[in-house]
A and B are shown apart, each in its own frame.
Chain A
Amino acid sequence: MEGHSTYQPKNKVAQWFESRLPIVGLVHSSAIAYPVPKNLNYFWTFGAILSFMLVVQIVSGIVLAMHYVAYAPVAFARVEHIMRDVSFGWLLRYIHANGASMFFIAVYIHIFRGLYYGSYKAPREVLWILGVIIYLLMMATAFMGYVLPWGQMSYWGATVITNLFSAIPVVGEVIVQWLWGGYSVGDPTLNRFFALHYLLPFMIAGVVGLHIWALHHVGQNNPDGIDVKSVSKDTVPFTPYATLKDVFAIAVFMIFFSWFIFYTPNYLGHSDNYIPANPMSTPAHIVPEWYFLPFYAILRSIPDKLGGVLAMFAAIAVLAFLPWLDTSKVRSARYRPLFRIFFWIFVVVAVGLGYLGSQPSEGWYVIVSRIFTVYYFVHFLIILPLLGFIEKPKPLPASIADAVLAKHAAGGATVMAGASAPETK
């Protein structure tokens, strides 16, 4: 998109350099002059929060890798060595372990923001699909990272998740053995997971680069879901407006993050993971980390091995087709009264699946899991395609500037209601 200003090298040296490597100009156009819609709300700060969390995880992870040893007989002890002996080791490990959860909290808010405001619709389909790829890479990274402390949950989580691939007909068993590097999860598995756990975050960083590139090419969506008509009237330059807002949001997010690091560092983990891995005995209730629970619930709700695995992967894959499943021309749920209702039903179903995933697979839990699983797919495959034809959207404002003006003209109380659309359920 055309920016608010262009970089003009002031002196000879800068001109000489810029004509050979226009990197300062690139930074200027993407981080300073880049036009940001005026009407963005705080849900749009989660992109910055996620970038921050990626840096936190990579930096703390590299530092932890300086002390950790990916060798099954000592891995558990090495983590305890970090917790006890390394200067600030306890802090670094709690940052990294809780940071994974914070990363997912932020990414789920980011994803649901995209769902609510229709951020996946043209021309942002590629941007959205890149996001789905990042999400998949995050899941793989988080899963392998959880294996590294080599506790009971690490071991049995690795066993269960890798066994998903045994559902593949004919070659499944062989694939699983190749994943393990043996006849069960063991030292070779730990070692390769460590190597991949170190690699994948850099792949995430690469795809994040593409994600931001695509974003800056098409421009940001906004709460009204309408296109920028005039850069000068509808947008503000990224710096200082969006940067300061993002930094403020990051600081507030860090307060939330600190609460877990310093005060309840093991709340999001599982106590069984402080028991060293024991291949001879499975814990009574094995559950994945909380951020996998909705998918875990879908997996368990299908009473067939291959079917469950397929349903679980389909639940993620369906997101990639969302830009074409949603047939409505209107992006933002603000102007889609029916969609808004179904959006919130979907939120309840997704959170509900998460809760069910944490419960034992018995009694009414199973029945509700099945209903919710069916609804999850119905939402994407039936409701969204149909809504576009049935729903009568509210009239859209002529421009972002008009929407902002209308909001201010409407006065105090309605300003609150209009601007905080997500709460108006």
Chain B
Amino acid sequence: MTIRSILFGAAAAALLFVAPATASEGGGHDGRPPRLSWSFAGPFGTYDTAQLQRGFKVFKEVCSSCHSANFLYFRNLGQPGGPSFSEAQVKQIASGYQITDGPNDSGDMFERPGRPSDHWPAPFPNEQAARASNGGALPPDMSVLAKARSYHVGFPGFITDAFIQYQEHGVDYIHAVLTGYGEAPEDVHVQSGLHYNKYFPGNQIAMPNPLSDGLVEYTDGSPQTVDQYASDVAAFLMWVAEPHLDARKRIGFQVVIFLIVLSGLLYFTKKKVWKNVAH
């Protein structure tokens, strides 16, 4: 009785929670981003430190010239479960930027080299300045971008994703957009100032193709291709959006194992107590 009731309960619960997932994907894409294999996917996934460091380089040299990442602090770059730069490297990276601080004793704002406690400096002082410099389009803040983007999965993918723990829609999308530039098909008229992109909703994106082969120099021998850059920077942005993912999955495994043991013990205890009662 018990097992079947529980299974039934689980199935009923599953039925109740699956409905929203269809809603949780933005629709209107002509092409669905391909699913890539990410080191941080699945129950035992962890970030690849080398990939995060490469992705950081792409972010620093390319993305960050237009995009802010206001919740990313220099100190984050050295914390465990991230690109794991040394303390000295973090200080060096931070001091490479001028930060506006103040006011000082005479009431003036002043510039000083960055410190690990500073957040990543935004390329534009405010939204209006960002729009003015980018033809009216606002380059979105990248702090949680990898969690703020998704795509339509449809039935039954949105159900199975919960069971296979597929959470990498955002990074798939970022990689897809970065590699999705190309010539527009003949029947598509691209408005001036916009660019054709296979994976961007509506296919017309204000951001010009930011990557090209060989643009960023890698020192670890990884291929210097657009595809590699796109994967690396997407992985880096996933880390920026979810910096505690490694710890979360590690603790989760311990918790689930513990709960299974506890449930087992409780089950046998309960059985023993109920042994003499017909029910």
A and B touch in the complex (CB under 8 A): yes
A residues with CB within 8 A of B: 38-43, 77, 80-81, 83-84, 90-91, 94, 101, 104-105, 108-109, 112, 236, 240-241, 244-245, 247-248, 251-252, 254-256, 258-259, 261-272, 274-276, 283-285, 287, 289-291, 293, 351, 354-355, 357-360, 404-405, 408, 415-416, 419-420, 422-423
B273 interfacial contact with A, CB 8 Å: yes
Which stretch in B8-16, B31-39, B102-110, B223-231 binds the other chain? Answer: B8-16
Q: Is the CB of A248 within 8 A of B267?
A: yes
Q: What count of chain B residues pass the 8 Å CB interface test? A: 66
B189 interfacial contact with A, CB 8 Å: no
Q: Is the CB of B252 within 8 A of A262?
A: yes
A-side contacts of B170, CB under 8 Å: 271
CB distance from A145 to the nearest CB of B (A): 16
Quick one: given A248-B267, A262-B248, are A112 and B12 in contact (CB under 8 Å)? Answer: yes
Quick one: given A236-B277, A241-B274, A284-B27, are A268 and B17 in contact (CB under 8 Å)? Answer: yes
A-side contacts of B13, CB under 8 Å: 105, 109, 256
B-side contacts of A94, CB under 8 Å: 248
Q: Which of A252, A262, A287, A354 contacts B6 (CB 8 A)?
A: A252
A-side contacts of B16, CB under 8 Å: 104-105, 108, 290-291, 351, 354
B83 interfacial contact with A, CB 8 Å: no
Q: Is the CB of B167 within 8 A of A267?
A: yes
Give 19 A-B pairs besides A84-B244, A254-B259, A274-B148 with Cβ atoms closer than 8 angstroms.
A77-B71, A84-B76, A91-B251, A94-B248, A109-B9, A240-B273, A245-B274, A258-B259, A262-B255, A264-B161, A267-B162, A271-B24, A271-B148, A271-B149, A274-B145, A293-B20, A354-B19, A408-B278, A420-B1
Distance, CA A183 to CA B274, complexed state (A): 61
Q: Is the CB of A263 within 8 A of B165?
A: yes
Quick one: given A84-B71, A404-B279, are A264 and B165 in contact (CB under 8 Å)? Answer: yes
A-side contacts of B24, CB under 8 Å: 267, 269-271, 287
Distance, CA A194 to CA B12, complexed state (A): 32
CB distance from A355 to the nearest CB of B (A): 5
CB distance from A39 to the nearest CB of B (A): 6
B residues with CB within 8 A of A: 1-2, 4-6, 8-10, 12-13, 15-17, 19-28, 43, 70-71, 76, 140-141, 143-145, 147-150, 161-162, 165, 167, 169-170, 201, 241, 243-244, 248-249, 251-253, 255-256, 259-260, 262-263, 266-267, 269-270, 273-274, 277-279
Q: Is the CB of B266 within 8 A of A274?
A: no
Quick one: given A271-B150, A359-B22, A420-B5, are A244 and B273 in contact (CB under 8 Å)? Answer: yes
Q: Is the CB of B149 within 8 A of A84?
A: no
Distance, CA A80 to CA B266, complexed state (A): 38
B-side contacts of A43, CB under 8 Å: 5, 9
A-side contacts of B22, CB under 8 Å: 355, 358-359
Q: Is the CB of A252 within 8 A of B263?
A: yes
CB distance from B17 to the nearest CB of A (A): 6
Quick one: given A275-B148, A415-B1, are A258 and B252 in contact (CB under 8 Å)? Answer: yes
Q: Is the CB of B20 within 8 A of A290?
A: yes
Quick one: given A266-B147, A268-B17, A289-B20, are A259 and B5 in contact (CB under 8 Å)? Answer: no
